[in-house]
Structure 1
Amino acid sequence: MDAQCACGSLKVDLPDDITPAVVACHCTACQRRTGSPFGVGAYYLLAALTITGNATSWTRETDSGGAFTTYFCPTCGSTVYWTTGNHPEAAGIAVGAIADPHFPGPVRSVWEETRHEWVEIPTALHHFPRGRS
C-alpha cells in the first residue's frame, strides 16, 4: 500500500503489518491546508516508511508553540505527509493520498471546537475540543 500525490512523483510506501492511528482534525490550519472542512491523517513511525520523490516543505507554528511541517509535491501541490515537533519520530500520512476506500476511519476527532456543525465522524471513539493532551 502506498500514498502518493496527484501526479505520482512523491510517494510513501506504507507498511502492511502496522495498523496506524487515524485522526480527523478540524482545526482551521487543517481546513486551510486541505481545502476541506477537516484533515484526516494516518500516523506511522517514520522508520517504518519509505519516502521517494522530491517534496517541498512548509513549517508553521502550532497553537502550543511547536512546529508542524507539511510535505507536498512541488509539481502538483498535493500534500502527502507531515511531521510535528511534538512527535519527531512519527509522520502523518494524508488518508486522501492513500486513496483506498477500505482504509480504516478515524479513531480520534480533534479540534472539534472549530468543527463545521454538519460534519460528524462516526468512527471516532474519542472526541477532543482541541488537540489531544
Structure 2
Amino acid sequence: MLTTRLASCSCGQLTARTTGDPVRVSLCHCLACQRRTGSAFGQQARFLREQVAISGASTEYARPGDEGPGARFHFCPQCGSTVYYELIALPDHLGIPVGAFASPDFPAPTISIYEERMHGWVVPPPGAEHIR
C-alpha cells in the first residue's frame, strides 16, 4: 500500500496530496531558502509530479537559482504559506516544504546542500550526503 500524505498552507485553502515516498528529502542552506522559510535552512521533499495532486488557488513567485534556472514557488494567496514549487530544471518533479506536511514522522533528509552557508549549530542527520 502506498503512503498518502497531505501538505497544506496555514489556512487549509491550498493543499498538495502525495502518494508514495518522496524521490529525495533534503536540507538546503542557501541564503534564498533561509529567506523564504524565515529559518536557518529549508527542508523539502521532492516528488514526481505524477505523485502529487494540487487543490486550491496559488500565487506564483519565480526565483532564479544560485546554480541553474531556479524554481516557481506556489503559495496561498490568503495566508502566504508556500505549499509546493516547480523545479524549472526538473519539470517532472515538484518540491514540497516538509513543514507543510506538519508530520513529525516524515522521513529524515538524506542530503544536505549549500553547507558552506550552514549555520554552525545545525547538524544534518547521520548518514546524510554533504554537499558544500
TM-score range, shorter chain: over 0.9
CA distance in 1, matches of 2:14, 2:117: 31
Residue correspondences, number:
128
**TM-score, normalised with respect to structure 2:** 0.92
Unaligned runs of at least 5 residues, structure 2: none
The correspondence for 1:7, drawn from 1, 5, 11, is 11
- Where does structure 1 differ by over 3 angstroms across 4 or more consecutive aligned residues? none
Q: Percent identity?
A: 43
Q: How does 1:9-88 map to 2 (within 5 A)?
A: 9-15=13-19, 17-88=20-91
Alignment RMSD, CA only?
1.2
- Tell me which amino acid in the other structure corresponds to 2:60: S
**TM-score, normalised with respect to structure 1:** 0.91
Structure 1 contact 54–73 (Cα < 8 Å) conserved: yes
- Tell me which amino acid in the other structure corresponds to 1:82: Y
Unaligned runs of at least 5 residues, structure 1: none
Structure 2 contact 22–46 (Cα < 8 Å) conserved: no
The correspondence for 1:117, drawn from 107, 116, 120, is 120
